[in-house]
Structure 1
Amino acid sequence: MIVGFLGYSVAAVFYLLFSLLLLTTKQSGFQRQALSLSVFFTLLWALAAALQIWFAMPLVFLYAVETLRNGLWFLLLYATLVPHFEFSQLVHGPWRKKGILLGLLLTAILQLGVGFSGFNLNTLWLVSQLAQAIIGLWLIEQLYRRIELNARDAIKPMCLGLGAVFAFDFSLYANALITSGISFDFWSLRGFVALVAAPLVLLSARRVKRWSTKIYVSRDVIYHSTLLLVAGAYLLVMSLVGYYIRYAGGDWGSMAQSGFFALSVLVLVSLFLSERLRKRLKVQITKHFFANKYEYREEWMKFAAVLESQQGSPYSIALKAINQPFDCQYACLAVTENGRMVVKNTYNIRDDDPQALLCLELFGQQAIEHQWIVDIEELKQDSSVLPFKVHTNSLHNINKFSYVIPMSTDAGFKGLILLSAPTAIHSVNWEDRDLMRAISRQLAVFLNLHRSNLALAESQQFDTFNRMSAYLVHDLKNVLAQLQLLSKNAVKHKHNPEFIDDAFETVDSAVNRLSKVVGHLSKKQRVDTVVAPFSLKPALQQVIKSRSISLPLPLLEYHLDDGFELVCDQERFINVLTHLIQNAQDASEDNGSVTLRASQVEQQCLIEIEDHGEGMSIEFIDTRLFKPFDTTKGNAGMGVGAYDAKRFVEELGGHIHVQSKLGEGSLFELYLPIHKI
C-alpha cells in the first residue's frame, strides 16, 4: 500500500506541474488542447488511484477515470498522425472514428453508474480495459510506422512513454482475466510507470511543432534524472539480492548482506565517477531523446565564457573554445602570416608535430579558399569528396587528426584548426559541421580583432615615438643655436682667453647633449630606400669589420658563390645584421663566440647569426622579442632593433625563425628570397 500510494502521489504531483507548464503557454491549436486535457485527466487518474488505495474505494470508479484518460490519449495520438487535424474532422468524419471515442465515453458513464449502483461486472470491465490497452498499442504502432521519417525523432519519446503505459496495462489486465483477479503487486507499480512516461511525453511536447507548445527541458535535468533513476534501480536490485543472501545465509547471512551492500555501493560510485560512462550516457540521451544534438543556448554561453577568460594567449583561448564541445584528444591552430601557415597553439602535441605540419601543407590554403571542412577519414576512402585536388599518397601518415576547419574574415585574416576524432559525440554529422563552422567564424573575428588591437597599439607606440622625437629635435636646435652663436662670436673674440675658456665649456655641453640624443636615436628611421642588386659577400665582410670593435670577435662562414647577389636596400640590410650581431655580442662573454653564416636553402638565401651567450626563454621570444619599444638594455636601447629586422625581412617576402635556450645561446635564421624586388 505504501509503495502504491507513493507512486501514484508522486505521479500526480509531476502531472500537476506538467499541466501548469501547459497553462503558461499562449499557443492555440487542437493538438495542444488535446495534450492539455490528456495530461490533466492523467493527473486526475493518478490522484484517484492514490485515494482508492488509501480509502479502499471500489476500482470501478478508477476504471471510469482511466477510460476518459485513455480516450484523450487516443485522440492526441490520432491528431498527431493526421496533418492539420481539427475537431470538425472528427465530428464530420467516418463513423468508425467517432465510434471509438463515443464507445469510450459511454463506457466511462456506465462504469460510474454501475459503481454507484453496486453491481458486480468486474470481468466486463477487465475486458474493456484490456481492449483499451490494445487500442493504445495499435495507435502507437500506426503513428510511428506511418509518420514522416524526419518527424520520428520528435514523437519517439512519447511513443516510448505511452507504449510503456499501455503495455503495462495490457499485462495487468491480461493477467487479471487469467487469474480472475487483479494482482496488487502489478497495480502498485502503475504509478511509477506513469511517472516514467511523463518526462518522455514532455520531451515530445517540446519537439513536435504541430503541438505549438514551447516548453524548455534542460538536458542537464534529463541527464541527472536518468543518473538518479539508474542509481535507484541499481540499489533496489542490490538490496533484493542482499536480502536473499541474508535469508539464505543462516548465521552468517547478516554479515554477508552488509558486506555485499557495501561492495555494491562501491561499484555504483566507481561507475558514476567514470568519465567515459558519463560521456556515453550523455551521447545516448542526446541521440534518442532530443531533436538537436546541442543545446545551442548553453553551448553559446560556454563559448562566450571561454572567450572572456584571460588564461593564456588569444590563440590558446580560441583553441580551447572550439575543442570544448567536441573534447578532442589533439588540436592545433595555425594562421597565415606572410603567405605561410604558422602554428600558434597546440593541444597535447608539439608545435612542430610532423602530422600537423603535413596537414597544413596538404590542405592549408585550399581549405581556406574553398571554406571547406575536410574530413580526413572520409577522404582516405574517397578522394573525390573535395572540391579541390590534394596529394592523397601521404594521407596514410595522418592518424592523429580527423578534421581540418578553415577560419577567415573579409578583413584578410586566414587560419586553420586541426582536430582529432571527437570523444564527446558518437558520430559527426551535418549539425556538428555547422557548429564547427559557426565557432570557427566567430574565432576568426575574435583573432582578427586581437591582431587589429596589436596593430593599433603598435601605431600608438610609434606616435609616442614621434612625439619624443619632436623633443629631441628641439634639443638639437638648441645645441645648433649654441654652436652657431659660438662660430659667429669667434670672428671677433677668438684671441680673447676668456672667450676660449667659455667656448670649451659650450662645446663640452653640446657634446654631452648630443651624446644623449645619439644614444636615443642610434637606430634611426629611414624614409628613402634604394632597392638594387648587390654582392652579398662584401656586405657581410663590412658587417664583420664594423662589429670587430667589440668582443667576442664575430666570424664569417660563407657557403655561397663569391658573385652571389641579393636584391634589397643594401644599407638597411647591413644595419639590420649589424644590430643583430651587436645583440649577440652583448649577450655573450668576451671569450664567447658569434658566427655569421650565409647559405642557400631551395629558393631562399639563409643568413644565420649564432651565439653561445645568455639565451632567451620561449615566452620571451613569443611575447617580447619582436615587440617594438620593449628593451632589456634600459636607457641604452629603444627596443626597435629586432622589430625592425623582422619588418625588413617580411617586407622582402621572407621570414625570421628564432631558436634559443637559456644559458646555451641563440640562433637567428633569416630566410630571404633570391632576386625578388
Structure 2
Amino acid sequence: MELNLVVTNIHWLNSSVEIALAVIILFKVKLLRVKLSLFACAVVSVIWHGSVPDTISAGSLSWGFFLIESLRYLAWVIVLLYLLMLARGTKLPNIWAYSLYGTMLITLSLFIYNINNTALFPSPILALYFKIMLSLFGFVVCEQLIRSDHSSRMTKLAALVAFIIFSYDIVVFSLLLLDSDLDQSLWQARAVISSVTSLLLALSIIFYADQLKESSRFQLSNSVILFNTSLTLVGAFLITIALFSSALDYFNISWLSASKVMLYVLSVFSIAALSLSEKIREGFVVWTSKHFFAHKYDYKKQWIKLDLLLSQQHKSQNCYDVSLHALSKLFNCDAGGIWVKGQQFYTCVATAKLQFSGRLPIESIHSNFIQKLEQEEWVYQANKFANKYDAQYNNDLPDWIATVQNTWIVLPLNAASGLVGFAVLCKTKLNENEKLTWEDLDLLKLTGRQVATYINQEQAAEKLVQNQQFDMFNKVSAFAIHDIKNLIAQQGLVVKNAEKYKHHPEFVDDVIATIANSVKKMDQLLKKLKGSDELKTINLHELLVQAVAMNMNDFPQPKLTKTCLEAEVKGDRDKLLMAINHLIKNAQDATEKEGEVELLLNCKDDQIWLDIIDTGTGMDQAFIKNELFQPFNSTKQDQGMGIGAYQIREIIHSLKGELIVESTPQVGSKFSIYLPMAS
C-alpha cells in the first residue's frame, strides 16, 4: 500500500511538470494552431502519466495503455507536423489535419470508454511493432525540422525533445520484443525522461516563443544528424531481430543457446579471417577508420588552401616554383624539388633548399621508377618509417635519391595526359605520428593530380603565347623571303656580268667568288625557310671539328676532347652545326681570353653526350628558368632578335634530344646536349 502511494505521488509529481507546460503554452505561444496542438500534447501527457502501469511485460499490455500510448504519439506527430509546415511557410493539407484529429478523437473516446477495462490487448507483439513504427515516423519529421534552415530555435529544440522521447521508447519496446520480462527500472524511467524533456520544452517556449517565425542559424552538422535512411535501417534491424526471436520461441529454441552458437561461429570465422588474411585485416582497419572515426584533415580547408597557394604567383616565379611552394606549405616540408617530363628525361625545373651531392640529377622516361609513378601512382616514402610495401617499391628508387638530404616522399604529378612530373619533398624532423596513413596518401595523390593539372594548363598557356609570337614572326619572314629572292636575282646578275671582265685584276675574281658563295648560301636559306629540310646521317665528330675550326679566330680558342669517333645522328646537318656554333660563340663571348672553352664528346650504348663547358661569367638559376629560353627576349640589346637559345633548344628537340643547362655565377656554365645514336 505504501509502495502504491509512493508511485502515485511520483506520477502526480511528473504530471505537475506537464501541467506547468500546458499553462506556459497558453500564455506564451501566439500562433493558434501551434498553441492548440502543443496544449493538447501537454494534456495528453498529463493523462498518460496517470495511466501508465507501474510494471510491464510483453504479454501484459492492456487496452487502456495501448490507447493512451497511441494518443500520446499522435499528439506529438501533430505538433511536429504543424511546426514543419510553419518552417516551410505552408499549411498542413486538410485531409491530413482531418485524418489526424479524427483519429485522435476516436482514440480518446475509446480510451475513456475503456478507462476501467482491464482486458488485455489481443496481440501485444503487434502493439509493440505499431509503436516502434510510429516512433520511426516521428524520427523522420524530427530530422526534417532539425535540418531545415528556416526552423526557429524553439522549433528545433522541440524536435530534439521529441527525438529523445522517441529514441528511448524504441529502445524500451525493442527490449520488450527481445525479452518479455523487462527490467522495471528501465520502464519507470520513461516517466522521468518525459518530465525532463517537458521541462526543456517549457524553457524553450519561455525564451524563444516570440521568435517562432524567425529562422535559426543553429544547425547540426551532417555528422550528427540521423538521416531518414539510417533511421529506417535501424528500425528494420530491430524488427528483424524481434522476428528472429519470435521464430526461436515458436520452435522452442532457447534464445541463449542460439546466441551462443551464433557467437561461437562468428567469432571463429572472424578470428580466422583476420589472422590468416593480412589484406582483410588491413582493409578492416581502413574501413573502420573511414566510417567510424574522425578524419585527420578537413578536406574543404585543404582544397581552399591549395587553390589559394596556386593562385599566388609573383613575377619572379614560374608555374614550377609556385607548385613547389604550394606543396611545401601544404605538407609542412623544409625543402624539395620538382622534375618535369622532357623528350627523353625528367629534369629538375624548380628547387627550394634542396641539398644533394653530385651533378643535377635527371631520370629516364623509361625507368622502372617512372613506370611505377605513372601506372600505379605510387607515393614513395624514403624514410625510416617506410613499411614493407615501401621497402619493396623502394628498390626502384634511383641512386641519386640517396644523395638528397632528409628525403620524405616522392610524389607523382599525374594528369589526364599521363605523368607530368614528380616532386621530391624533404623534412628535417620526422616523428612517429607522421607515418603515412590511408588518409595522408589520399590527400597526397589528390594534391599531386591538382598540381599536375595546373602545370599542364600553364605549359599550354605559355605555348599558346609563343605560337602567337611566332605567327607574327612568320609573317615577317614571308617578306624576308621576297627580299631574299630579289637579292639572289641581283647577285646572280652580277655574277653573270662579271664574266665579261675576267681580264681585270684578280680583285674581280675574288669579288665573283664571294658573290657566288653568297648566292649559294642564300639559296640554301630560302629552302630552309620554305621547310624543305632533308634528314641525313651526320658524323658528329666531323661536324665538331668543323665547328671548332670556324671559331679558332676568337679567344679563348675551343678545345675538343672525344672518346668516340663513330658518333652518328640523324638530322639536318646545317641546323645542328648552327646550333653548336652558336653555343661555342656564346661561351667565348662570356669568357675572358685567358679562360677556357672545352667540348667533351662521350658515347655510351646508344646515347651521345656533348658537353660545352666554359669558365665565363655564368648565369643564376632565375635567369635560366625564366629568361634564357624565352623567345624574343635578347640580352644583346639591338644586336639580336632574342631567339638564339630558344632556336637551339628547338633544334635539339627536333632531333629527339635534350638540352640541359648548369651554371654558377662567376664560375662558368655547362650546356649538355643529349642525342640518340642513329640506328
TM-score, length basis structure 1: 0.52
Residue equivalent to 1:334: 339
Q: Helix, strand or coil for the counterpart of 1:210?
A: coil
Q: Helix, strand or coil for the counterpart of 2:451?
A: helix
- Pick from 580, 585, 590: which aligns with 1:587? 590
Matches within 5 A, 1:516-665: 525=529, 527-549=531-553, 551-552=554-555, 554-562=557-565, 564-590=567-593, 592-601=595-604, 603-665=606-668
Task: Output one character per residue of 1:279-333: Cα deviation in whole Å (capped at 9) or x when no partner.
Answer: xxxxxxx999973222222222111111111133211222233344432334332
- Pick from 305, 310, 328: which aligns with 2:308? 305
Taking structure 1 as reference, are residues 531 and 96 closer, same or farther at Cα in structure 2, changes over 3 Å only?
A: same
Taking structure 1 as reference, are residues 662 and 332 closer, same or farther at Cα in structure 2, changes over 3 Å only?
A: closer
Q: Helix, strand or coil for the counterpart of 1:293?
A: coil
Matches within 5 A, 1:36-55: none
Distance 1:404 1:656 in 2: 25
- Pick from 125, 128, 139: which aligns with 1:30? 139
Taking structure 1 as reference, are residues 628 and 565 closer, same or farther at Cα in structure 2, changes over 3 Å only?
A: same
Residue equivalent to 1:364: 370
Question: What amino acid maps onto 1:628 in structure 2?
Answer: P
Matches within 5 A, 1:499-514: none
Q: Helix, strand or coil for the counterpart of 1:342?
A: strand
Distance 1:542 1:394 in 2: 37
C-alpha deviation, 1:342, in angstroms: 1.5
Question: What amino acid maps onto 1:558 in structure 2?
Answer: T
- Pick from 436, 441, 446: which aligns with 2:444? 436
C-alpha deviation, 1:449, in angstroms: 0.8
Give the conservation status (yes or no) of the 8 Å contact 2:340–2:347. yes
Matches within 5 A, 1:218-617: 291-311=294-314, 312-350=317-355, 363-376=369-382, 381-383=387-389, 390=396, 400-420=406-426, 427-476=435-484, 525=529, 527-549=531-553, 551-552=554-555, 554-562=557-565, 564-590=567-593, 592-601=595-604, 603-617=606-620
C-alpha deviation, 1:568, in angstroms: 3.6
2:226 maps to 1:210:
yes
Matches within 5 A, 1:184-195: none
Taking structure 1 as reference, are residues 404 and 347 closer, same or farther at Cα in structure 2, changes over 3 Å only?
A: same
Distance 1:207 1:395 in 2: 43
Residue equivalent to 1:146: none
Question: What amino acid maps onto 1:390 in structure 2?
Answer: D
Question: What amino acid maps onto 2:664 in structure 1?
Answer: K
Taking structure 1 as reference, are residues 566 and 350 closer, same or farther at Cα in structure 2, changes over 3 Å only?
A: same
Give the number of equivalent residue pairs. 440
2:157 maps to 1:103:
no
Question: What amino acid maps onto 1:624 in structure 2?
Answer: E
Q: Helix, strand or coil for the counterpart of 2:355?
A: coil
Taking structure 1 as reference, are residues 382 and 481 closer, same or farther at Cα in structure 2, changes over 3 Å only?
A: closer
Task: Output one character per residue of 1:85-105: Cα deviation in whole Å (capped at 9) or x when no partner.
Answer: 599869989777696576346
Distance 2:192 2:419 in 1: 73
Q: Helix, strand or coil for the counterpart of 1:548?
A: coil
Question: What amino acid maps onto 1:419 in structure 2?
Answer: L
Residue equivalent to 1:16: none
Give the conservation status (yes or no) of the 8 Å contact 1:31–1:76. no
C-alpha deviation, 1:338, in angstroms: 1.7
Taking structure 1 as reference, are residues 603 and 205 closer, same or farther at Cα in structure 2, changes over 3 Å only?
A: closer
Residue equivalent to 1:163: none
Give the conservation status (yes or no) of the 8 Å contact 1:355–1:398. no
Taking structure 1 as reference, are residues 31 and 69 closer, same or farther at Cα in structure 2, changes over 3 Å only?
A: closer
C-alpha deviation, 1:461, in angstroms: 1.9
Distance 1:352 1:645 in 2: 29
Task: Output one character per residue of 1:214-267: Cα deviation in whole Å (capped at 9) or x when no partner.
Answer: 9xxxxxxxxxxxxxxxxxxxxxxxxxxxxxxxxxxxxxxxxxxxxxxxxxxxxx
Taking structure 1 as reference, are residues 96 and 308 closer, same or farther at Cα in structure 2, changes over 3 Å only?
A: farther
Q: Helix, strand or coil for the counterpart of 2:436?
A: coil
Give the conservation status (yes or no) of the 8 Å contact 2:661–2:670. yes
C-alpha deviation, 1:590, in angstroms: 4.9
C-alpha deviation, 1:570, in angstroms: 2.5
Give the conservation status (yes or no) of the 8 Å contact 2:552–2:558. no
C-alpha deviation, 1:362, in angstroms: 6.6
Distance 1:331 1:366 in 2: 20
Taking structure 1 as reference, are residues 88 and 648 closer, same or farther at Cα in structure 2, changes over 3 Å only?
A: same
Percentage identity across aligned positions? Answer: 26
Distance 1:596 1:392 in 2: 28
Taking structure 1 as reference, are residues 89 and 340 closer, same or farther at Cα in structure 2, changes over 3 Å only?
A: same
Question: What amino acid maps onto 1:103 in structure 2?
Answer: Q
Distance 1:445 1:108 in 2: 57
Distance 2:625 2:445 in 1: 29
Ranges in structure 1 where 5+ consecutive residues have no aligned partner: 1-21, 38-42, 45-67, 80-84, 112-201, 215-285, 495-506
Give the conservation status (yes or no) of the 8 Å contact 2:344–2:657. no
TM-score, length basis structure 2: 0.52
Distance 1:94 1:542 in 2: 102
Distance 1:650 1:388 in 2: 32
Residue equivalent to 2:25: none
Distance 1:110 1:626 in 2: 80
C-alpha deviation, 1:567, in angstroms: 4.1
Distance 1:579 1:590 in 2: 18
Question: What amino acid maps onto 2:338 in structure 1?
Answer: L
Distance 1:477 1:345 in 2: 46
The structure having more radius of gyration, on CA atoms, is: 2
Q: Helix, strand or coil for the counterpart of 1:615?
A: coil
Task: Output one character per residue of 1:397-432: Cα deviation in whole Å (capped at 9) or x when no partner.
Answer: 888334332222233452122334677975532222
Q: Helix, strand or coil for the counterpart of 2:407?
A: coil
Distance 1:452 1:110 in 2: 69
Distance 1:668 1:548 in 2: 20
C-alpha deviation, 1:589, in angstroms: 4.1
Give the conservation status (yes or no) of the 8 Å contact 2:533–2:572. yes
C-alpha deviation, 1:644, in angstroms: 2.4
Task: Output one character per residue of 1:188-218: Cα deviation in whole Å (capped at 9) or x when no partner.
Answer: xxxxxxxxxxxxxx9996424525699xxxx
Distance 2:481 2:458 in 1: 35
Question: What amino acid maps onto 1:319 in structure 2?
Answer: L
Question: What amino acid maps onto 1:309 in structure 2?
Answer: Q
C-alpha deviation, 1:447, in angstroms: 0.6
Distance 1:321 1:25 in 2: 45
C-alpha deviation, 1:466, in angstroms: 0.5
Ranges in structure 2 where 5+ consecutive residues have no aligned partner: 1-82, 89-135, 147-152, 197-217, 231-288, 501-510
Residue equivalent to 2:256: none
